[in-house]
Structure 1
C-alpha cells in the first residue's frame, strides 16, 4: 500500500470545510464516471408480446387461420 497522498495542496491554506467540499466533488465525479449508463430497454412483458404475435395478413379465410397459428 502506498503512503503517498492522493491529494496535495500546493498553494494556499484551505480550511477543513473547503478540503471536504473538494474531496466530495472529486469523489462524486469519479463515481459518476465509473458507473456505466443502463441502456433503455422495453419491459419483459412488452418484449414477450413483441415476439409472440404474428403480423396480421388480410385475405379470404384468414380469420379462421388467425385462431390456429
Structure 2
C-alpha cells in the first residue's frame, strides 16, 4: 500500500494516524465481505416430496398426506 502526501507537511504522528485509519477501514471492509449462504437442511427442502410417491386415493389417504418420512 502506498500513500502519497499531495499537500501540506504532516508530522510522522499524523501520517501514522492516517495510515491506521486507512488500514482499519480496509480490514473492516474485508471482514464485512458477504459469506456464502448456509446450505439448506434436507428435511426443509420441498423438492424431497418429489422423491416419494403420493398416497393413492382412499378412505385413509389423508393420514399419509403429510410430509413423507
What TM-score, normalized by structure 2, do the two folds share?
0.45
Higher relative contact order (CA closer than 8 Å, sequence separation 6+): 2
